[in-house]
A = this chain, B = another copy of it.
């Protein structure tokens, strides 16, 4: 019992396949009478409507857009930034009656990259521009939009983007700490890519060399970090790659940074979740952020406001919304958007002393 197709119906009814097709898609192309007869017969034969795939092949469009994550999807659902972005993105997609496909392409998982090749979508969005999935998508000639410029090279690539000026944001945060008189600063960065060093202290120049050696594939906040390092030039700066961007990783970093005699006076994480995790570590040790050690993050999550965390707020929802709009409307002229950000000073950062 094979599947019923328009052809079968046409044969049985003695009409052309085109008539059956028109009965479903273009009612004005045939008489109302014949149309109802075709539809009735189709229902009786168990025909379930035009096949989606065949239609897509014909039209060349799927009305589906992919979102690529460089972590497991369970991470995407648990990270507040991802969720907020995804919610805004999906709201626009829903409004336009487009569907969303989720792709998980963990770094280093070469096999998972095939999913990008096999995805029947009209375009793809991702949080980070230099993740393998996005690179592959661009190679495939697929419309892409990404929401973080990881490296300067990304900006010169072929993809569209909706970003903030992460380098400038890093500079601002550095300036803030400098004004507060901090001279010894630790920077917590994520290095989501597998097999990379974690929880080791680096001088900025060594870390730079490490990143360059990995051709930008080492982590996703290069510009942000570059701004920080540049802005903190002359001070004693130490970089700690903590692994995955998560509250747990930030907390773990507390072990390395707090349980020592020569504690830094300030710690900046390149994301709020890491900073919040680090604050958890402070709390566990009875230390008060801002007094015992200044702490700052990036992103501007609601959770950061509750915790009194100094941060750089970025318009997450606008990123998601605009990314969706760029994908949906290829004729929009402005396809490389830089949104404003804002330094928000809270009680977690205070003057040294």
Contact = CB atoms under 8 A, between A and B. Distances in A.
Given A49-B117, A53-B56, A54-B57, A77 B73 contact: no
B48 A140 contact: yes
A101 B104 contact: no
Contact of A102 (B99, B114, B139): B99
B91 A112 contact: no
A103 interface: yes
Interface stretch (A82-90, A183-191, A238-246, A253-261): A82-90
Most buried by B among A64, A94, A115, A139: A94
26 contacts: A3-B141, A48-B139, A48-B141, A52-B117, A52-B120, A53-B53, A53-B56, A55-B118, A62-B120, A63-B118, A64-B120, A72-B90, A72-B91, A72-B94, A73-B90, A73-B94, A77-B90, A90-B102, A90-B104, A94-B104, A97-B111, A97-B115, A99-B118, A99-B119, A101-B102, A102-B102
A140 B49 contact: yes
A73 B115 CA distance: 23
A118 B91 CA distance: 19
A280 to B, nearest CB: 15
A53 B57 contact: yes
Given A53-B57, A78-B87, A73 B100 contact: yes
A331 interface: no
A83 B97 CA distance: 22
Copies of this chain present in the complex amount to 2
A31 interface: no
B120 A53 contact: yes
B72 A77 contact: no
A309 to B, nearest CB: 22
A98 B323 CA distance: 25
Interface of A: 3, 46, 48-50, 52-57, 60, 62-64, 72-74, 77-78, 83, 86-88, 90-91, 94, 97, 99-104, 111-112, 114-115, 117-120, 139-141
Given A53-B56, A53-B57, A62-B120, A114 B97 contact: yes
Nearest to A67: B102
A316 to B, nearest CB: 13
Contacts of A94: 72-73, 104, 112
A88 B78 CA distance: 12
Contact of A90 (B46, B53, B74, B111): B74
Contacts of A77: 77, 83, 86-87, 90
Contact of A73 (B3, B57, B87, B104): B87
Given A78-B87, A97-B114, A119 B52 contact: yes
Nearest to A63: B118
B101 A99 contact: yes
Contacts of A112: 94, 97
Given A52-B118, A120-B56, A100 B102 contact: yes
